[in-house]
Amino acid sequence: MNIEPLEDKWRSFGWHVQRVDGHDVEQIISAIDLAKGTKDQPHIVIADTVKGKGVSYIEGKYEWHSHSISDEEYGIALSELDAAERELEKQEQAAWRS
């Protein structure tokens, strides 16, 4: 169900609106910091996310919204997410070295 233009709807009621990548922790923290400093109006952070992000057989598939996961599927998901976490840690270490 399309609810766009979501930002415009909130702005029309006088809210300060930010839209961020809901998978990017730095963007979320920055948005919260900015919201704390916005005193003259209410503030909303719209965090865009992808359902099942990082799990190949779930990512972006609406039918997983209410689907149960088997033990085998759970193991695959953990393995994929662990691999993604290791890759992010490598990237972070490389960034600190440069």
Residue-wise pLDDT tens digits, 35-81: 999 889 999 999 999 989 999 999 999 888 888 899 999 999 999 99
Give yes or no: residues 40 and 80 share one domain: no
Count Cβ neighbours within 10 Å for each residue of 53-88 and write b for 16 or more, e otherwise: eebeebeeeeebeeeeeeeeeeebbeebeeeeeeee
With 0-12 / 13-18 / 19 or more C-beta atoms within 10 angstroms meaning exposed / middle / buried, residue 7 is middle
Give yes or no: residues 3 and 25 share one domain: yes
Give yes or no: residues 5 and 43 share one domain: yes
Q: Domain range for residue 62?
A: 51-98
pLDDT bucket at 12, cuts 50 / 70 / 90 = very high
pTM: 0.71
Give yes or no: residues 62 and 34 share one domain: no
For position 4, what pLDDT does the model report?
86
Give yes or no: residues 44 and 66 share one domain: no
